C-alpha cells in the first residue's frame, strides 16, 4: 500500500509539474507576444486617436525638415560648424512641437473648446515660426532681403491704381496748358 500511495503521489506531482510548466510556458508565450506587439498596439491606439491631427503633424515635420536643411546650408555657406548641439535642438524642437500639438488637440477634444480651436492656433504659430526661420536662412544664404524682392516683384505684377489717376491729372493739366 505504501508503494501505491507513493506512485500515485509521484504521478500527481509529475502531472502538477507538467501543468505548471505548461502554464509557465503559456504565460511566457503571452508575455513574449505582448512585448513584441506592444509597440504595434501602442502605435495603433495613438494613430487612431491622433488621426484628425495628422495633417498638422505632417506640415510641422515638413517645415522643421526644410528649416533643418536650410540651416545646414546656411552654416556651410557662412563657414560655421554644424554641431550635434544644433541638430539636437532641432530634434528637441520637433518633440516639443509634437507634445504641443497633442496637448492642444486634447484640450480641444476633452475640454470642449470649439470656438477657439487651440490646435489650429498652435499649428499656425508653429508653421509661421518655421516659415520665418526658413526665410531668414534663405536670406543669409543668398545675401538678399527676400521680402523686399517679393514686394518688388508683386508691385511689378499689380499696377498701382493711384499712379494712373495722378498721371491722368497731370496729362489733363499739360493738355490744357498746350491748348492755351
pLDDT tens figures, 99-113? 998 888 888 887 776
Q: How many whole angstroms separate alpha carbon 116 and alpha carbon 124? A: 13
Q: How far apart are CA 70 and CA 135, in angstroms?
A: 9
Q: What is the mean pLDDT of residues 135-141?
A: 91
Residues 116 and 155 in one domain: yes
- Determine, yes or no, domain membership for 180: no
pTM for this prediction: 0.59
Q: Is residue 115 domain-shared with residue 40, that is, in the same domain?
A: no
Identify whether the C-beta of residue 56 lies closer than 8 Å to the C-beta of residue 119. Answer: yes
Note whether residue 176 is domain-resident.
no
96: containing domain: 52-161
Q: How far is 169 from 118, CA to CA, in rounded Å?
A: 52
Burial label for 118, CB within 10 Å (0-12, 13-18, 19+), is middle
pLDDT digits (tens, 9 = 90+) for 40-72: 777 777 777 777 888 888 889 999 999 999 999
139 touches 75 (CB < 8 A): no
Amino acid at each position: 500500500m505504501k508503494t501505491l500511495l507513493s506512485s500515485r503521489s509521484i504521478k500527481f506531482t509529475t502531472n502538477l509539474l507538467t501543468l505548471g510548466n505548461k502554464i509557465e510556458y503559456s504565460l511566457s508565450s503571452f508575455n513574449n507576444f505582448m512585448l513584441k506587439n506592444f509597440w504595434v498596439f501602442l502605435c495603433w491606439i495613438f494613430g487612431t486617436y491622433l488621426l484628425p491631427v495628422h495633417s498638422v503633424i505632417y506640415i510641422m515635420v515638413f517645415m522643421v525638415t526644410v528649416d533643418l536643411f536650410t540651416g545646414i546650408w546656411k552654416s556651410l555657406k557662412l563657414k560655421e560648424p554644424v554641431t550635434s548641439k544644433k541638430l539636437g535642438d532641432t530634434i528637441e524642437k520637433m518633440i516639443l512641437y509634437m507634445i504641443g500639438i497633442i496637448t492642444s488637440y486634447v484640450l480641444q477634444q476633452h475640454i470642449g473648446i470649439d470656438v477657439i480651436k487651440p490646435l489650429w492656433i498652435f499649428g499656425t504659430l508653429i508653421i509661421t515660426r518655421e516659415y520665418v526661420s526658413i526665410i531668414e536662412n534663405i536670406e543669409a544664404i543668398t545675401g538678399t532681403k527676400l521680402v523686399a524682392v517679393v514686394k518688388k516683384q508683386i508691385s511689378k505684377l499689380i499696377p498701382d491704381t493711384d499712379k494712373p489717376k495722378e498721371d491722368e491729372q497731370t496729362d489733363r493739366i499739360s493738355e490744357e496748358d498746350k491748348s492755351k
